[in-house]
Every structure is written in structure tokens, then in C-alpha cells.
Structure 1
């Protein structure tokens, strides 16, 4: 059975191994994450986990962030390595766990060394409720810092984004069954890695570290 406390297993003092930047190092690190990932209950219909080959570039969707500013998805992804999660602010089941997960990752961001800044992005999947003020309150609830942004696409775009993230052509269920995977993007805004459902904080940090050195 999934233990929510597993999200906090990573100790704040742990260091992330630093190695020479290369594609080989990245592929090896990501492969080891995929092998080591423990199976967790499936909370949603989604595609595969692990290395995304070839990398995927999502449509440059328009979003509105927690400040009410209209942004393009690529403007939030380009130039840094990014961990992305899907949430909705009215969720009272797994979304608080996802917020706690990103909060734990945020605490460890200073330990991640690489060529690019590291970012966290929470995508609201309920455009009718995930307003800028709701996103702002959600981020505040988890003490989000400047590296952590939340934004919501339009109702027209949300299902396409969810399917592209999951790598699945199957119809999506309702938002209550949304995926709890984390999606990691490189500095060229390409999706490079998908976690299993509700991964550990150290898995996400190691993926971001590998992408930052690639």
C-alpha cells in the first residue's frame, strides 16, 4: 500500500551525486531511475514511465499563471530543466500529496548543480476552477518559492496537453482520476522522462540533476 510519508523520505542533508556532463551519463542515470522505481498503485490512466525516446515537444499552449499573466508553455520551459505535475486546486485526495512532493523537491533545489536553472511547474487541469487566485492560494499553501510556478491552459487545450504528457492515445477519465506522474523537461522544452505515479522526491531531484548535466 502507498505510504504518503514516503514522499518525505529524502533527508534534507542528502547530496545529489555530481558527474561529468554527457548524454551517456544522462541516459545511464535516467535508466537507473526507471529500474529502481518501486511499483505504486495506479491512480490514473496514463502511458509509460521512464525515459522518453525520442524526446517529445508539446504544442506551445497558452496558459494563465497564478499572477493572471498569459504565458506560452515554451516560455515556462525553455532555458531551464523543469519538473511538471498536473493538479487541480479543488482536489482533496492526491493533489495535496503532489503539493507536498514538490515542496520536498523545492527544499532540495539548492543541492542540484547543473548548467541550467531548475524549475517546478504545476499545471491546473480544471480551467473552470483553477483561476489565478486559486493557483496563487494553492502555491501559498505549500510555501512555493520563485522557482515554482502554477498555470492553467484553456478548456480547449487541457485534454490534448494531458494526453501528450502521458504519451497515451486512450481517452482520458475525469479530472478526479488524473495522473500523478511527474514529467521532466530539458532546457530545450522537450519531455525527457516520466515518473511512475507518486514518485519519491529523490527520484525527481536525480532526474533534474541528470537533465541539468546533459
Structure 2
């Protein structure tokens, strides 16, 4: 159902020409160029990549969003097709690349042709540090709009949530080696796709577009 081919990622000059030369856009484009040059190393153990068959429904974890509001995972997912990433706000290595990736996807959402709303969700995996104010700063840093939220599970749930997302039964290891995959959910709150680490913008937009037309 989904085209699993990862398209060639654009170089920095191609990306830069397609954006206004604002400071924020320039910083994001530099991050995306770094992402494109990365060899996509395996940052964390995870299960099968690509289409999730059969589709999986995660437990309805309790989360606290960037406004300090308690919400459930399904509360976020039921709003439409959702692309989800795991980050932590104190990360200075791959997480800025992940933020730049979602920022670029956000700009492309109107072009996906989806008949469902498309949402982005950044899940903080360091509950001791990923407070609502830290999540708000994270979203502001990447110019997140209303379709992009962030939330943190409780300390007792965070590892279980990460394992369900990844589909792995292996130990998660150090938080610094967390997965940089993107997890795509359909409009019925079902996990339908797991990307490889640090996927391209084109790959994720292609998947969420197809899910949005189901």
C-alpha cells in the first residue's frame, strides 16, 4: 500500500532556494542538510521497519502536553493522521535534526492532499526534564503551528511507550541513543508505519499523505 522506497534527499542548495532567507529558515535548512548527509546510523534497537502489518493499537498512555494539560495518547491520535517522533528537550545531537525534520514536514502538509487533518506529535522521553515549559520552548524553537503538539508520559510509562512504538523487545539502552524513527498513525489511531532512523521529508510526507487519503 505504501511506497517504501526512500527518495533521494535534496542537497542544501535545493532546500535553501525553496525557503525564504529568514534566520529561522536558514538554521532549519542547515539542519536538514546535515540530516541529508547523515548515513542514518541505528540510534536504537527497534523492530521491523516500514508498513506495520497488522496495524497496531498502542495502550492509551496518559500524557501532559506543552500547556500542562493532562491528555491521553488517543486524544492526540483521534484528531487525524499523526506523525509521531520521540525527543528530549535537553538533547543537543540528533533532536535538533528531528525538530528541523518536523518543521519541514509541517510546511508540506497542505500539499499532501489528505482528506483528514494531519498532526505532528513530539513525545518527550525524559519526564524529569521535559516539563510543559520545556516542551513549549521546543515547539517555539522550530516554529511549530497549531497542528504540532508535544507531550510527555509519566516516568513509569515512558519506557513501555517507547517499546510499543518501536516494536522491539530489546532493552532501550541510554536515552542519548534513543530512536530517531517517525511513527505514522492512521485516522483510526492505528500505528501503520515505522520509518528507519532519520528518514527523509519526502518519505514521511508520502506516507502521511497516503494514510490521509484512506
What is the TM-score normalised by the length of structure 1? 0.83
**1:197 aligns to 2:191 (yes or no):** no
The residue aligned with 2:173 is 173
Distance apart, 1:113 and its partner CA? 1.4
Q: Work out the CA distance in 1 between the residues paired with 2:79 and 2:12.
A: 28
Alignment of 1:185 with 2:196, yes or no, is no
Q: TM-score, length-normalised on structure 2?
A: 0.83
Contact 1:8 1:201 in 2 (8 A): no
Alpha-carbon distance in structure 1 between the residues aligned to 2:85 and 2:178: 10
In structure 2, the CA distance between the partners of 1:67 and 1:5, relative to structure 1 (3 Å rule), is farther
Q: Give how far 1:8 is off.
A: 9.3
Please show how residues 25-104 of structure 1 align to structure 2 within 5 Å: 40-104=40-104
Residues 12 and 108 in structure 1, CA contact (< 8 A), matched pair in contact too: no
Tell me which residue corresponds to 1:147: 147
Consecutive aligned runs of 4 or more in structure 1 exceeding 4 Å deviation: 4-13
1:39–1:186 CA distance, 2 compared to 1 (3 A): farther
Distance 1:168 1:132 in 2: 28
Aligned equivalents of 1:144 and 1:211: distance in 2? 22
Contact 1:9 1:200 in 2 (8 A): no
Q: Quick one: structure 1 residues 63 and 40, their matched pair in 2 at CA, closer, same or farther if it must change by over 3 Å?
A: same
CA 1:89–1:8 in structure 2 vs 1: closer, same or farther (change >3 Å)?
farther
For these two proteins, the number of residue pairs brought into alignment is 187
**Contact preservation (8 Å) 2:183, 2:194:** yes
Runs of 5+ consecutive residues of structure 2 not aligned to the other structure? 1-8, 20-37
Equivalent-residue separation in structure 2 for 1:132 and 1:210 (angstroms): 32
Q: Is contact 2:79-2:119 (8 Å) kept?
A: no
CA contact (8 A) 1:8 1:101 kept: no
Q: Which runs of 5+ in 1 are unaligned?
A: 14-37
Cα distance change, pair 45–5 in 1 and its aligned pair in 2 (3 A) = farther
1:126 aligns with 2:110: no
Q: Tell me the secondary structure at the aligned position of residue 122 of structure 2.
A: strand
SS in 1 for 2:157: helix
Secondary structure, counterpart of 1:46 in structure 2:
coil
